[in-house]
Structure 1
Amino acid sequence: MMHGLDLSPYFLAVAAQKEEKLSRPKPIRWVHANGEVTGLSSDSFDLVSLAYVCHECPARAITGLVKEAFRVLRPGGTIALTDNSIYFHVFQELSPVLFTLMKSTEPFPGRVLHAGFGGDDEKSGALLTFAPS
């Protein structure tokens, strides 16, 4: 069963309403919880996806999100992080002032690399896949 989790009751309601229109045979279970402390069972998911979340969070919260993702992940499972990248051509084409501002407020890529992960394709920005170095 697929689960969708968010801290915002509003966005969960919007997601549930959009999903209802799709009439899927296996509906998504929507969970209102903090991603750092989900209350979900350990070792219970094959895939955990954090999509456009980490760039909005302070370092402490990112650490909590990743720890919780590993806790609920089954052995051999996958964590997919999708987020903004300063290497993406759209950001590269910003004026120097805006690019510097964006880069200074988006420390996530640097923190991931500093934590010992290496990017497979750091320059393209279209897709960054991280694997333990």
Structure 2
Amino acid sequence: MAKCKKAPKRFDEINVIPFIDIMLVLLVMVLTTATFIKQGVIPVDLPKAKKADKQDVKKELNIYVNAKGELFFEKEKVDLKELRTKLETISKEQTVVLRSDKESRFQDFVSVMDILKELKHEQLYIVTKE
């Protein structure tokens, strides 16, 4: 009797299990690294600017204006009077960084700027997103 050779089995489907495993590993890596990325301690949604210069700022003082109009000086909640007294004690050459939420009132921003101008602080940066 003659033996018949079997034809090789044809693969009509792609095995997607290894692909799913790789995608799950990548998803876990993205989610774990995304939770560690943080803009700052006080949540401020910065406005965007088309022509923003990146500056290397060293030893800066931070002033925040959040969406509710609350003022923060170096993570400490202050009002305008307290902000003025704190700014009076620092040097005029000290760099001040102002981060104002795009949803905050413009008047809050102007009030902080008035204090800085009145006290003759020239080293001022206003932070925006690109």
TM range (shorter): 0.3 to 0.5
TM-score by length of 2: 0.34
Determine which structure has the larger strand proportion and give its number.
1
Determine which structure has the larger helix proportion and give its number.
1
Q: Between the two structures, name the one with larger relative contact order (CA 8 Å, sep ≥ 6).
A: 2
